[in-house]
Amino acid sequence: MSLDDAIETVLQKVLRRIRPTEEERAFVEGLMRELEEIARETIEDLGLDVKPYFVGSLAKDTYLAGDHDVDLFLAFPLDTPLEELREEGLRLGKAIAERLDSHEVAYAEHPYVRATYRGVKVDLVPCYDVESWRDVRTAVDRSILHTKWVNEHLNGRNDDVRLLKRFLKGINAYGSEVYVRGFSGYLAEILVIKYGSFLKVLENSDFILRQKVIDPAGWLRREPEPAMKTVKRETEEDKPLIVIDPVDPRRNVAANLSWEKYGRFYFKAHQFLENPSEEFFFPETRKSGSYLAELRRKGTHLVTLVFKVQELVDDLLLPQLERSARGFERALSREGFNVLGWNVGRSSGKAFIMLEVDRRERERVKIKPGPEFFTERGWDFYRKNGKVWLIGKRLYAEKRVKESILEVIEELLKKNAVALGKGIRENVKRAEIVLDYVPKELEDEAYLFLAREKWSLKEQ
Amino acid sequence: MSLDDAIETVLQKVLRRIRPTEEERAFVEGLMRELEEIARETIEDLGLDVKPYFVGSLAKDTYLAGDHDVDLFLAFPLDTPLEELREEGLRLGKAIAERLDSHEVAYAEHPYVRATYRGVKVDLVPCYDVESWRDVRTAVDRSILHTKWVNEHLNGRNDDVRLLKRFLKGINAYGSEVYVRGFSGYLAEILVIKYGSFLKVLENSDFILRQKVIDPAGWLRREPEPAMKTVKRETEEDKPLIVIDPVDPRRNVAANLSWEKYGRFYFKAHQFLENPSEEFFFPETRKSGSYLAELRRKGTHLVTLVFKVQELVDDLLLPQLERSARGFERALSREGFNVLGWNVGRSSGKAFIMLEVDRRERERVKIKPGPEFFTERGWDFYRKNGKVWLIGKRLYAEKRVKESILEVIEELLKKNAVALGKGIRENVKRAEIVLDYVPKELEDEAYLFLAREKWSLKEQ
């Protein structure tokens, strides 16, 4: 079997698993018709001038089998004051949700209603009925334009989008959330439209990076000023990719894509094209092993902080954990410990920070540099310290310090000498800190981290 | 007893030990007369136009009791070609030495004869008979001018110079050799002349540093151009003191004085004035202790390299040892070991380098940063390494490394990855390297180093 045939075979197998069946499709379409009906009636009942729009992967028919959450946007006229849109939008959302199965209020830039209906999650999001990027006033307003643009340009390549999305999920590079920094669904759609197919996108993983700027709607010609500003800004921030939003020249669709996630895509694309397999789309759960054996093999040590966090959502929690881990890395390095790597996350309702360090104990003394000897501060230093000597014009003395890394960390936290994420500072300070041991539920996580399986580019 | 009286008592006691007795003085004067006689006769015998001059502390009557080496300079007319001065000077020196007890040829800028006569070392040094700095052609030519200037300005303060020299010796800050970087005898003489007495020099230890530029002969007025050039050059090199040579505006008499040695003088001067004692002039041998106990107390480790060196003189050897120690400090730091301090020297015919380090073993793996992933070198790195992951756009991999510091040092030396002093490179590479153990004869040295007694500013 040729490589091309092998690839085709794999894709067909994958498609059988991710393409919605006729039954699912009928169910989804029925659901949407019902929801639209309910929405229209409610709008009329409330005497509002609002248009309901379906957006997202359902509206674009790019959803994966079994993954059919509904995004129903409630578009208010552009002349509605923002305050009124917030209030009336929420009232309308609630009124619609009353006729569904259950609901709650969620908060983004403005409040919206999350309902469920016949087992499906339904987001009821108020927005403005924009027709062009110049009208955009809130973060969600573009969604209607996105849906429209994709539907106008996809030309039946819906399954290619499904393959790409599933591929990105499989290699752990899907989702533009701040704690993922991967490819959004919209970005996947644009890439398929621009390069023609799932395989073309993979084959161009190198070219896409070199091309750097992708401008499917020709904004650089049509609206050079805002488009160039976007290119300049994103170039300065060293983004791997600049995809000028087909519906808004001011926006880089790939703004949240990290080099790490593009790199994963890059290597996995090469691997898949050389050696196709379903594994890329549906990886087996990563192989695990003993984190203690890994520590012995490497001769390193593992410090783990475990602590309660309130109801912080991942979007907020994970960046704070990352910031805190980097704070520990810097603070410990100043104290003479080398942090080889760190890992953060959440498990069983608690947050954790893992730090792989080079040793558990350091020397008991530290050489403390002092001021220049002929200054007032020099005399102070000379008087305050026991043994004092000179290197060049600077005084030095010996300082007795804590030996064990746990004591050092406790002292650093007590002295507020670690840059921690603001929202979790107090939690970290009350953390349980353990050395070369993790609670049962973190054992796999510890192994995947220490063995670097978690980020490995080679193993599937 | 008042503090002034206490100081005076100490100085009188010290003077009794360092002022030459009438017998010594008579012996020295007789010796000089005899030597001058021999020199004059030999010069006449050889038909040379050379004048003999005594220079150095004997000629200035600033020598310490028992320390009366003779410097006899043989001054050739200015129109003598340099080559002729070298040849004839050596021939003359040898001819004089033939009439003394024993001699050998030594090498500085040009060769000279070291003889002994009646138990006294006699250096016979050819030079030019200069009358002004404009005539100076070789490094030794200024000596005659120095002797003349000091004798014209000392005005009977010879004992003050003796006290200052003995004080500087006692606190280990005497000698302008490159491996001492302390005060020369000539500098001590200038300071006494400038500030009036031994005590005045000590009392001005702070003022001297702040004054920075000392110009006893008024060169800045008389010859502003070369004098300013000297000030500028030495200021840029951040010398602690700029003493424009009274006989040559181009030269800083304190050019070799280090901040460390000035600092020792600074603190010891304060200590002496507050708490005078003979100890400053004649310190008891430094108290010793167990270097192993010191290692245990500090939780650090000691690496010692011991190796043979040929007949390198200290002037050449010690700077090379220092350079090599600094090379080890940098190389080991790149390898993850922290060097808290180092110490070099010579003992029983062998040279040694001691390195105080934070640990004897490091972790068995190192995180190895690679190139950017989308480059040719990125692909090489990806293929060559087992586990590979991304941080930003850069690839990383794990590398197994030597654990023990001795193995690391051996590997570094084999790979020529330590910046060593040129003259001793091969010797260091063949060194015996020991950990937390030193040969018997280095035990005291190891203790004084680890306890920092060697450089301590407080204990006498």
Is the pLDDT confidence value at B310 over 90?
no
Chain B positions touching A260 (Cβ under 8 A) are 390-392
| E strands present in A77-224 | 102-107, 111-117, 120-128, 213-214
Do the strands A213-214 and A242-245 form a parallel or antiparallel pair, or are they unpaired? parallel
**Crossing angle for the helix pair B158-170 and B3-18, nearest 10 degrees?**
90
Nearest CB among B209, B364, B388 relative to A374 is that of B209
Query: What is the 3-state secondary structure of A252-267?
Result: ECCCCCCHHHHHHHHH
CB-based contact A164:A193 (threshold 8 Å)? no
Percent of chain A having pLDDT more than 90? 82
CB-based contact A389 B455, cutoff 8 Å:
yes
B393·A456 Cβ contact <8 A: no
pLDDT for A287 beyond 80: no
A4 assigned binding-site residue = no
Task: Say whether A165 counts as a known binding-site residue.
Answer: yes
Residue of B nearest to A369 (CA): B340
A244 CB-near residues (< 8 Å, 6+ apart): A213, A214, A215, A216, A217, A219, A220, A227, A230, A231, A251, A252, A253
Count of CB atoms within 10 A of residue A119's CB?
Answer: 8
Question: Each residue of A174-206: b (16+ CB within 10 Å) or e?
Answer: bbbeebbbbbbbbbbbbbbbbbebbbebbbbbe
Residue B363 has its nearest CB partner, among A266, A298, A451, at A298
Give yes or no for A403 touching B (CB within 8 A).
yes
Q: Is B266 on the interface with A (CB under 8 A)?
A: yes
Task: Judge: B365–A300 Cβ closer than 8 Å, yes or no.
Answer: yes
Using a CB–CB cutoff of 8 Å, tell me whether A340 touches chain B: yes
User: Is A340 close to B363, i.e. CB distance below 8 A?
Assistant: yes
Inspect the interface and report whether the beta carbons of B364 and A389 lie closer than 8 Å. Answer: no
Cα A48–chain centre separation: 37
3-state secondary structure at position B246:
coil
Query: Does A416 contact B at CB distance below 8 Å?
Result: no
Which string of DSSP letters, residue by residue, matches A10-37? HHHHHHHHHSPPHHHHHHHHHHHHHHHH
Whether residue B266 contacts residue B182, with contact meaning beta carbons closer than 8 Å, is answered with no
Distance separating alpha carbons of residues B460 and B169, to the nearest angstrom: 12
CA B171 to chain centre: 14
pLDDT at A460: 39
What is the arithmetic mean of pLDDT over A189-208?
97
Any chain A CB within 8 A of the CB of B341?
yes
Give me the residue label for tokens 């110490």: B343
Q: Which residue of B has its CA nearest to A208?
A: B374
> Which residues in chain B (287-306) have CB-CB distances under 8 A to chain A?
297-300
Minimal-distance CA residue of chain B relative to A266: B374
- CA torsion, points B106, B107, B111, B113, in degrees to nearest 10? -20
Q: In this structure, what are the phi and psi dihedrals at residue B117, rounded to the nearest 5 degrees?
A: -145, 120
What pLDDT score was predicted for residue B459?
64
Minimal Cβ distance to A298: which of B365, B386, B391: B365
Q: pLDDT band at A286, cuts 50/70/90?
A: low
Question: Do the annotations mark residue A123 as ligand-binding?
Answer: yes
Residue B281: per-residue pLDDT: 96
Interface test with B, best of A171, A204, A393 (most B CBs within 10 A): A393
Nearest residue of B to residue A391 by CA position? B260
Least Cα separation, residue B437 to chain A (angstroms) = 18
| Residue keyed to tokens 């339904």 | A122
- Residue ranges of B 369-388 with Cβ closer than 8 A to chain A: 373-374, 382, 386-388
Annotated binding-site ranges of B for ATP: 57, 60, 146, 165, 174
Residue B460 has pLDDT above 60, yes or no: no
Q: pLDDT, tens digit, for every residue of B349-399?
A: 899 999 999 999 988 888 899 999 999 999 999 999 988 999 889 999 988
Phi-psi region of A53 (alpha: psi -120 to 50; beta: other; left: phi over 0): beta
Residue-wise pLDDT for B175-229, tens only, equals: 998 888 999 999 999 999 999 999 999 999 999 999 999 999 999 999 999 999 9
Structure confidence at residue A78 (pLDDT): 95
Any chain A CB within 8 A of the CB of B107? no
The nearest CA of chain B is from the CA of A64 a distance in Å of: 29
Q: What is the pLDDT of residues B226-271, one digit of tens each?
A: 999 999 999 999 999 999 999 999 999 999 999 999 999 999 999 9
The reply to whether A156 touches chain B by the CB within 8 Å rule is no
For chain B, the average pLDDT equals 93
Give the per-residue pLDDT at A453. 83
The reply to whether A71 sits in an annotated binding site is: yes
Is A60 annotated as contributing to ligand binding? yes
Residues in chain A: 460
pLDDT at residue B433 tops 50: yes
CB nearest to A456's CB, from B358, B362, B387: B387
Q: Which domains are seen in chain A, by residue range?
A: 17-140 (3.30.460.10), 154-280 (1.10.1410.30), 291-362+401-450 (3.30.70.590), 365-400 (3.30.70)
Counting beta carbons within 10 angstroms of the beta carbon of residue B22, is it exposed (0 to 12), middle (13 to 18) or buried (19 or more)? exposed
Taking CA atoms, what residue in A is nearest to B373?
A: A263
Cα–Cα distance for residue pair A150/A60, rounded to 1 Å: 7
Q: For residue range A84-112, what is the model confidence (pLDDT) as tens digits? A: 999 999 999 999 999 999 999 888 778 89
Three-state secondary-structure class, residue B177:
coil
How sure is the predictor about A459, in pLDDT bands with cuts at 50, 70 and 90?
A: low
Q: Which tens digits make up the pLDDT trace of B132-175?
A: 999 999 889 999 999 999 999 999 999 999 999 999 999 999 99
Neighbours of B3 (CB within 10 A): 11
Q: Per mean pLDDT, which of A69-78, B135-144, B342-351 is the most reliable?
A: A69-78
- What residues pair up with A366 in beta bridges, in sequence order? A399
